[in-house]
Amino acid sequence: MNKLLVIGAGGQLGSELTKALVNTHGSDAVIATDFQESVKSKFAYCRFKTLDVLDKDAISNLIQAEKITQIYHLAAILSANGEKNPVQAWDINMKGLLNVLDLAKEFKLDKVFWPSSIAVFGPNSPKTNTPQDAFKNPTTVYGISKLAGEHWCEYYYTTYGVDVRSLRFPGLIGYKSLPGGGTTDYAVDIYHKAINEEPFTCFLQEDTALPMMYMEDAVQATLQLMAAPSSDIQIRTSYNLSGMSFSPQEIAERIRSHYPEFSIQYAPDFRQKIADSWPSSINDDSARNDWGWKASFGLTEMTAEILTKLPSYIHNL
Ligand code: AKB
């Protein structure tokens, strides 16, 4: 039987991916963990334990006690927060991953999932339709740690046969959980302001287009990648993944078709420089060809779904 350990389950992706894993594998097969005990209430539907990804012994004990066969390692410091404390971000992002990879090797786990990011690209990467193998010179500590992490994943696969799989996520947008400390966070916050009929101040310029993805597509991509036969996974660093691409001005316009009075103003801060170093759109041909990836949501569909579902979701919290 598969037994899945989700590390960092309380975060933006983990909150929704854990539910999907339970739906796929059953509640007995999934253990949600997070270093914050306070997120426990999100996991009434499966078991929850506190776990610090830097505590290798604690992870090792859990793997043995629970006979874990797969790890979904989601804990990370994102791009904007990473710049506030670069050394701490490096420690959490790199040591956490190395702990997981090393234990996957030691206990011969079946599979590991680890998210990378479009942040691996940098100012000298092609801006549009950025290819899988494009030149990469990340300028954030988050991007540097993701790029190094991708190579560690490939190293553990080629050297030790650890079946680790990874996706370069764009900015993820969902209505069930808030992101924490990323450069693409504005595209979640903006919907909350819209339904409250409040004006929104964006920390990026109006024309800064970035690659984005609706959470449902991100969850589907993860499930699909992890279900694919190992022989289909040709890329052992991390796969480019594309959903949609838009600027603050474009998302605001789309929101106005639901809330005509919605107003946005722009006050770019330090995150503008990070956004300027990233691609505006991504080529994901390798994911499409190798394991059949195709996104379902564009900006119009996502906006309609979020603005319809967010008010009652918040009301029922
Ligand atoms: C961030 O903004 O840091 C993340 C990412 C693009 O990986 N959402």
- The two counts, helices (H) then strands (E), for the chain are 12, 12
Residues 101 and 204 in one domain: no
184: Cβ–Cβ under 8 A, 6 or more apart, which residues? 170, 171, 172, 173, 210, 212
* Residue numbers in the chain where pLDDT is lower than 50: none
Q: What is the pLDDT of residues 17-34, one digit of tens each?
A: 999 999 999 999 999 999
Cα of 59 from ligand 1 centre, angstroms? 26
Question: Residue 12's pLDDT is what?
Answer: 96
Neighbours of 228 (CB within 10 A): 15
Beta carbons of 144 and 136 less than 8 angstroms apart: no
Q: What is the pLDDT of residues 174-184, one digit of tens each?
A: 999 888 899 99
Long-range contacts made by residues 137-141, C-beta under 8 angstroms, separation at least 24?
A: 138/277, 139/274, 139/277, 140/79, 140/82, 140/83, 140/274, 140/277, 141/82, 141/83, 141/86, 141/89, 141/90, 141/93
Question: Residue 316's pLDDT is what?
Answer: 84
User: Which string of DSSP letters, residue by residue, matches 138-183?
Assistant: --SHHHHHHHHHHHHHHHHHHHH---EEEEEE-EEE-SSS---S-S
Neighbours of 315 (CB within 10 A): 7
Cα of 66 from ligand 1 centre, angstroms? 32
Residues 81 and 112 in one domain: yes
Question: Residue 315's pLDDT is what?
Answer: 85
Residues 193 and 141 in one domain: no
Please tell me the residue having the least CA distance from ligand 1 atom 1: 182
Residues 14 and 156 in one domain: yes
Question: Residue 277's pLDDT is what?
Answer: 98
Question: Residue 180's pLDDT is what?
Answer: 86
Q: Identify which of 183, 202, 241, 270 to mutate to test ligand 1's pocket (most ligand atoms within 8 A of the CB).
A: 183
Question: Residue 179's pLDDT is what?
Answer: 81
Residue 3's closest CA among 107, 109, 97?
A: 109
Residues 247 and 191 in one domain: yes
Question: Residue 317's pLDDT is what?
Answer: 79
Question: Residue 313's pLDDT is what?
Answer: 93
**What global pTM score does this model have?**
0.97
Ligand 1 atom nearest the C-alpha of 278 is: 6
Residues 204 and 299 in one domain: yes
Residues 150 and 252 in one domain: no
Beta carbons of 167 and 239 less than 8 angstroms apart: yes
Residues 70 and 151 in one domain: yes
Q: Which domain holds residue 129?
A: 4-170+215-240
Positive or negative: CA dihedral 187, 175, 242, 116: positive
User: Which CATH number covers residue 123?
Assistant: 3.40.50.720
Please tell me the residue having the least CA distance from ligand 1 atom 7: 117
Residue 89: C-alpha distances to residues 12, 39, 82, 96, 142 (Å): 17, 21, 5, 10, 7
Residues 151 and 75 in one domain: yes
Q: Considering its fold, how many domains does the chain have in total?
A: 2
